[in-house]
Amino acid sequence: MILKKAGIVKSIHDQLGLPKNRSTDIFESVLEIIKQSLVKGEEVKISGFGKFYVIDKKARNGRNPHTGEHMIIEPRRIVSFRYSSRARRGLNG
């Protein structure tokens, strides 16, 4: 089963009894706050759940898997996530 945005909004609606459009606004606001913090390079730590953080990748040599052509992979930023120990315990029993 895949948990999608609509499922999370429905859970907020069901658990809090808020209208669906308000539940959607709340969820979108939380996502936007997380996104803007990550764009600034800040970590986002959610107690009992985990931490989102940005990793700066350096340029490196690579290869196009279809053509075999060598190329330079440009530097980029990626988002990574690390579970909290409490979430990991809950996941593993």
Fill in the DSSP letter of residue 66.
Answer: T
The CA distances from residue 82 to 21, 46, 51, 70, in Å, are: 31, 11, 5, 33
pLDDT of residue 64: 93
Please determine, for residue 6, whether its predicted confidence score (pLDDT) is greater than 90.
yes
CB neighbour list of residue 21: distance below 8 Å, 6 or more residues apart: none
Under a CB-based contact definition with an 8 Å cutoff, are residues 58 and 35 in contact?
A: no
46-74 pLDDT, tens digit each:
999 999 999 999 999 999 999 999 999 99
Token reading at 38: 């990550």
